């Protein structure tokens, strides 16, 4: 429920708007006191996607991402959980151009 909007965005806004084969990697790693979930794509990046939407006069209202951020804020406030969300462009090391997007969601493990 927390990562679905990011996977959907990777496909819809990053992968489908390019001329090469797209790839979305999903990694789930257990850390000492948390679970780290990464969604990485080789799409066009955040800014380029926004440019395309603007050119096509598409009013994209990212409800899935907005709802997920609201859920994170609720977990932080109500349950005092230190949930972290990072969204960033990936740069190609050889030419410094945007080569995708990386989402990192880190959720603490709560012992019951």
Of 50-59, 66-75, 100-109, least confident by mean pLDDT is 50-59
| Edge-to-edge strand ranges of the sheet holding 98-108 | 24-30, 34-41, 98-108, 84-91
Q: Looking at residues 59-64, what average pLDDT do you find?
A: 71
Per-residue pLDDT at 61 exceeds 90: no
| CATH class of this structure's domain 4-108 | alpha beta
- Please write the tens of the pLDDT for every residue from 17-59: 788 899 999 999 999 899 999 999 999 888 888 788 787 776 6
pLDDT of amino acid 26: 97
Name the residue with higher pLDDT: 107 or 60: 107
pTM to 2 decimal places: 0.85
Place of tokens 């790839």: 23
Q: Give alpha helix (H) positions in 1-112.
A: 4-9, 46-55, 63-79
CA-closest candidate to residue 72, choices 46, 105, 37: 105
């Amino acid at each position: 429920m927390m990562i679905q909007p990011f996977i959907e965005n990777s496909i819809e806004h990053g992968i489908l708007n390019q001329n090469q084969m797209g790839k979305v990697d999903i990694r789930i790693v257990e850390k000492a006191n948390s679970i780290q979930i990464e969604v990485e794509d080789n799409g066009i990046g955040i800014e380029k996607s926004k440019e395309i939407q603007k050119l096509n006069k598409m009013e994209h209202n990212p409800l899935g991402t907005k709802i997920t951020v609201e859920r994170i804020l609720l977990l932080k406030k109500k349950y005092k959980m230190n949930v972290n969300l990072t969204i960033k462009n990936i740069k190609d090391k050889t030419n410094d151009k945007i080569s995708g997007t990386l989402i990192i969601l880190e959720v603490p493990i709560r012992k019951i």
